[in-house]
Amino acid sequence: MAEEKKQAEAAEATQAKVQAPVQDPQEFLENFNWTKYEQGIEQVDDAKLQEFETLVAENFVDTVNEEVVTGTVVFITDREAIIDINAKSEGVISLNEFRYNPDLKVGDKVEVLIDIREDKSGQLVLSHRKARTIMAWDRVNAAHDKEEIVNGFVKCRTKGGMIVDVFGIEAFLPGSQIDVKPIRDYDQYVGKTMEFKVVKINHEFKNVVVSHKALIEADIEEQKKEIIGQLEKGQVLEGVVKNITSYGVFIDLGGVDGLIHITDLSWSRINHPNEVVELDQKLNVVILDFDDNKSRIQLGLKQLEKHPWEALSDEIKIGDKVKGKVVVIADYGAFIEVAEGVEGLIHVSEMSWSTHLRSAQDFVKVGDEVEAVVLTMDRDDRKMSLGIKQMTPDPWTDITTKYPVGSKHNGIVRNFTNFGVFVELEEGIDGLIYISDLSWTKKIKHPSEFVTVGDKLDVEVLELDVEGRKLSLGHKQTTTNPWDKYETEFALDTVHKGTIADVVDKGATIDFNEDIQAFVPTRHLEKEDGSKLGKGDSADFKIIEFNKEFKRVVASHTAIFKAEEQRIVKAAVKKAAAAADEAKPTLGDANEALQALKDKMEASANKKK
């Protein structure tokens, strides 16, 4: 068939040559266009040539480098898209530049940048990515100036926010601008297309910042005005837990935020709001109060439930035993939750029969389950006082039997003051030992010199006041008073060997033993030769004063040799008196002397005559 077709075409050509008119050679040579013949161009009519030039001007673009034009996708291969821009040749663009648009198809209009009019192989080089970037900046600036909403593709997460593709430009979405509520999981937004508002453009560094929150806030502001206008105290609304702090919970009421203080979350005591609610939880709340412009709204959760005191059984009365858990401890006592939202106070004085000062921490700790007796109850004021010491018998009930006056016991030192020591004989039974009843011999200025807290001490009951619940004890009474023995041993005028222990004001001291310390006045330190005894000197001393009640002993060294002198003097005086008595004239001797004198006087008178 192909061979027959060729033969037919050859025959037609031969016939055409035969039938063509014969042209005059001279005329042909005169009209022949030798220029077109030399250039190898066939003859074209000038009118048709003009028509062709007009079509070129109307349809073909001037392919200037770095120019953005619109092209049409005419073919798509596995790797490339063929783009017709009405140039003398078609351009090729890698499909990688269209990854953002997986639905690209033949016939789509796309913006391209004429990168190179003709490369080494004569191919027109185009770039869709560069064209998008140039056009994107124009669009972004226009969107910013007109405050238009733009669509963006969240590409990935970055430090402090997200990267969003807007018109082919990588814009930054700060974490704080994603939503009006705090975002905990940024990854949930990656790969999503969202609406944004261009909020900032840095032309110098080509940076763009967008916000999704701005769009939400605009909608919320409208809702907020509507909601605020309808708010009333006591109104119950549904809200969502927006944020949890140590002092309360912020609730989103649909564009308006309100605060539930921690004390308004539950009738029971709680340590942190997360014990009651959790983030994003939906719940009903009641409006408790708000300021004049309704910008600060106080909400309540527990107010939606009946007060626990109103639900408390009417059967509970004073004297009943109740069980509860310790929820709060203070120095003055502990609060016990006997029912949800119902608490009673156990004062520290009601925790033990003991009267000496102690704190509540000595008896209970938070979380303890305790049983107590209801002491007072006021349902109107919602107050209740409890006691746990009442769970055991009062130890003072049979005090006279257990601790009669004169009985001896062993106790523990619990505390002391400047004037004495408190000793606990048993739980609830404390007695006081005055400082003067601690020792027979030691002069104690403060009880801490004699005992420490926690020491065990033997005591004797000295006085008992049942009505006043007071017990007077003594420690020294449990031992023999050594001063009874010393009263005889160191009696007046007894002489003892001693050494001057210390020189003090107006005298010196001597330690005769561990109990007896005697005082020697300065004038009694004088020795027989006139000098005085000093610290460390040993000598004999005479007791010149002994007072058992005040434990006062006064001694003297001088009195020893002074007494000897007085004895000698007294003996000499006595001897002299005796000698004088022997030499004294009798009455007869006197008469004889007088008679002799008279005779002598008479004889003298006779001679004168």
**322, 338 Cβ separation under 8 angstroms:** yes
Q: Residue 93 and residue 75: Cα distance in Å, rounded?
A: 11
Q: What is the tens place of the pLDDT at every residue in 142-165?
A: 888 888 888 889 989 888 888 998
**Under 8 Å between Cβ of 242 and 278:** no
The whole-angstrom separation of Cα 551 and Cα 555 is: 13
- Could you give the residue ranges of the DSSP H alpha helices within 157-212? none
- Condensed to tens digits (0 to 9), the pLDDT of residues 347-383 reads 988 888 776 667 888 888 888 899 999 998 888 888 8
The DSSP secondary structure of 541-559, one letter per residue, reads EEEEEEETTTTEEEEESHH
- pLDDT at position 41: 53
Q: How many CB atoms lie within 10 A of CB 80?
A: 15
pLDDT band at 608 (very low <50, low <70, confident <90, very high): very low
b/e code 201-236 from CB counts within 10 Å (16+ = b): beeeeeebbbbbbbebbeebeeebeebbeeeeeeee
Q: Three-state SS for 269?
A: coil
Q: What is the pLDDT of residue 597?
A: 61
State both tokens at 209.
Answer: 């910042």
pLDDT at 391: 87
Confidence band (pLDDT; 50, 70, 90) for 433?
Answer: very high
CB–CB of 165/152 below 8 Å? yes
pLDDT, tens digit, for every residue of 122-136?
Answer: 677 788 878 877 777
Which residues are CB-neighbours of 62 under 8 A, at least 6 positions away?
A: none
d(CA 199, CA 153): 17
Query: Torsion-angle region of residue 506: left (phi > 0), alpha (psi -120 to 50) or beta?
Result: left
Average pLDDT over residues 441-458: 88
Q: Which tokens sit at 268? A: 């029971």
- Residue 353 · residue 396 · CB < 8 Å: yes
Q: In which element (H, E) is residue 579 found? A: helix 558-583
Report whether 282 contacts 249 (CB < 8 A).
Answer: no
Q: Looking at the predicted structure, is the pLDDT value of residue 14 above 60?
A: no
CA dist 327 and 312 (Å) reads 18
Residues 6+ apart with CB under 8 A from 349: none
User: From CA 363, how far away is CA 106, in angstroms rounded?
Assistant: 87
> Using CA atoms, how far apart are residues 459 and 545, in angstroms rounded to an integer?
32
Pick from 426, 357, 425: which is nearest to 392 by CA?
A: 426
The answer to whether 132 touches 111, Cβ cutoff 8 Å, is yes
Other Cβ atoms less than 10 A from the Cβ of 337: the count is: 17
